Amino acid sequence: MTLSSRTVRIDAFGGPENLKLVELPVGEPGPGEIRIRHHAVGLNFIDVYQRTGLYPNALPLALGMEGAGVVEAVGEGVGHLAVGDRAAYASMPPGSYCERRVMPARCVVRLPEAIPFETGAAMMLKGLTVQYLLRQTQPQGGLQAGDAILFHAAAGGVGLIACQWARAMGLQLIATAGSDAKCQLALEHGASHAINYRTEDFVARVKAITSGRGVKAVYDSVGADTFMRSLDCLQPFGLLASYGNASGKVSPVDIGLLAAKGSLYVTRPTLFTHIATLERTQAMADDLFSMVTTGAVSVRIDQRYPLDQVAQAHRDLEARATTGCSVLLP
Ligand code: NDP
């Protein structure tokens, strides 16, 4: 019997109207692969970049990079997963907006019993991102309890996990967000201060909060609208991790500016370098699972959509109308 899967894909780059639900056959996993039946699928801003073509991929393209479900079949050479296991992943290549898929096993880890499927689907890409940002993308000398950092878009999926993770590390996370209600949410999740960057000058506020010193690190996923001003929030030797472009791509920068502003460091990291091997993925996932199962981080799912409402999910995300995480239910 040939299995099939309702799958969301695009045939051309463009708006949410290009997202099409199609029925595709799904085969058996080859060597190093598994087949997973999804219980829930995570929605991420990177899916928007892939839909519009900002991050280029070959067409037609099945979208989605995060999911959780049950392993249905295991290919040759896969030792860490068995049929029937609860599992979750953040993956490259994309293709999680579907009922079931065949995919590389090295992206997939077992999901602890204590973590529901929806939570697993919502948190893998976002939570592993926070893991590598706060634990592995640190300024010279590292981050210590009491240090101040600035985290933009702090009421979003990645953002609310970061607020809680930073609190658990004893950091003072200064949040920015696009409304007073979102600022309140960031504060409730562990931010020490919150700035509405649509109505307030965040550079001036960061300077005031830090008594003129600035922060040791800025984590900036907003991109074009904030990049240059993020540099102005840093102490000498500070680090700007520019890890996203929700407002558009960052323009080329004159590297001499980094000297003028105090020997600054800038990095443009991606999760996919950090989870390039199963060993790295498992170690980072173990850290994330421990943060979640001990209650240090709770994963807030504020939006749920049936798979056939995926276009609305994209519209809401791009309109800045969401908070926390969103999941699609196949
Ligand atoms: P979010 O839930 O954070 O949604 C994006 C948020 O960005 C919006 O809610 C909005 O919050 C803010 N934003 C600011 N300007 C704009 C704009 N012009 N248009 C739309 N949104 C805007 O998404 P995710 O949690 O999925 O991802 C957060 C960011 O992290 C994304 O930029 C994503 O690409 C990046 N990312 C990068 C990774 C990497 O490894 N490099 C991995 C994972 C995510 P507000 O209204 O508060 O401003």
List, in sequence order, every beta strand (DSSP E) within the chain. Answer: 3-10, 20-26, 33-43, 61-62, 66-74, 86-90, 100-104, 108-110, 148-151, 172-177, 193-196, 215-220, 234-242, 265-267, 301-306, 325-329
Q: Which of 44, 45, 46, 124 to mutate to test ligand 1, by most ligand atoms within 8 A of the CB atom?
A: 45
Q: How far is the CA of 222 from the centre of ligand 1 (A)?
A: 6
* Amino acid letter, 92: M
Q: How far is the CA of 93 from the centre of ligand 1 (A)?
A: 20
Q: How far is the CA of 244 from the centre of ligand 1 (A)?
A: 7
Q: How is residue 41 written in tokens?
A: 């699928």
Name which CATH class applies to 138-268: alpha beta
Q: How far is the CA of 44 from the centre of ligand 1 (A)?
A: 8
Atom of ligand 1 nearest to the CA of 274: 40
Task: For residue 236, count CB atoms less than 10 angstroms from its CB and return exposed for 0-12, middle for 13-18, buried for 19 or more.
Answer: exposed
Atom of ligand 1 nearest to the CA of 125: 43
- C-alpha distances in angstroms, 72 versus 18, 22, 87, 97, 288? 30, 21, 10, 17, 25
Q: Report the candidate in 142, 133, 116 with the shortest Cα–Cα distance to residue 325.
A: 116
Whether 247 is in the pocket of ligand 1, judged by its Cβ within 6 Å, is yes
Q: Whose CA is nearest to atom 46 of ligand 1?
A: 178
Atom of ligand 1 nearest to the CA of 133: 40
- Please say whether the beta carbons of 128 and 285 come within 8 A: yes
Q: Whose CA is nearest to atom 39 of ligand 1?
A: 270
CATH (one of 3.40.1130.10, 3.90.180.10, 3.40.50.1370, 1.10.3720.10) for 3-126+272-329: 3.90.180.10
Tell me the domain boundaries of the chain: 3-126+272-329, 138-268
- Please say whether the beta carbons of 133 and 126 come within 8 A: no
d(CA 122, CA 126): 7
Whether 158 is in the pocket of ligand 1, judged by its Cβ within 6 Å, is yes
Q: How far is the CA of 153 from the centre of ligand 1 (A)?
A: 6
Question: What residues in the chain have per-residue pLDDT under 50?
Answer: none
Whether 42 is in the pocket of ligand 1, judged by its Cβ within 6 Å, is no
Q: How far is the CA of 213 from the centre of ligand 1 (A)?
A: 27
d(CA 91, CA 206): 35
Q: How is residue 157 written in tokens?
A: 């999926």
ipTM of predicted complex: 0.99
Whether 64 is in the pocket of ligand 1, judged by its Cβ within 6 Å, is no
Q: Which strand (E) or helix (H) includes residue 310?
A: helix 310-318
d(CA 204, CA 212): 9
CA dihedral 315, 246, 51, 91 (to 10 degrees): -110
pLDDT of residue 1: 74
Whether 45 is in the pocket of ligand 1, judged by its Cβ within 6 Å, is yes
Whether 153 is in the pocket of ligand 1, judged by its Cβ within 6 Å, is yes
Q: Which strand (E) or helix (H) includes residue 273?
A: helix 271-274
Residue with tokens 């829930």: 40
pLDDT of residue 219: 99
Whether 222 is in the pocket of ligand 1, judged by its Cβ within 6 Å, is yes
pLDDT of residue 119: 98
Q: Which of 44, 125, 326 to mutate to test ligand 1, by most ligand atoms within 8 A of the CB atom?
A: 44
- C-alpha distances in angstroms, 192 versus 130, 171, 239, 263? 17, 9, 20, 27
Q: How far is the CA of 76 from the centre of ligand 1 (A)?
A: 38
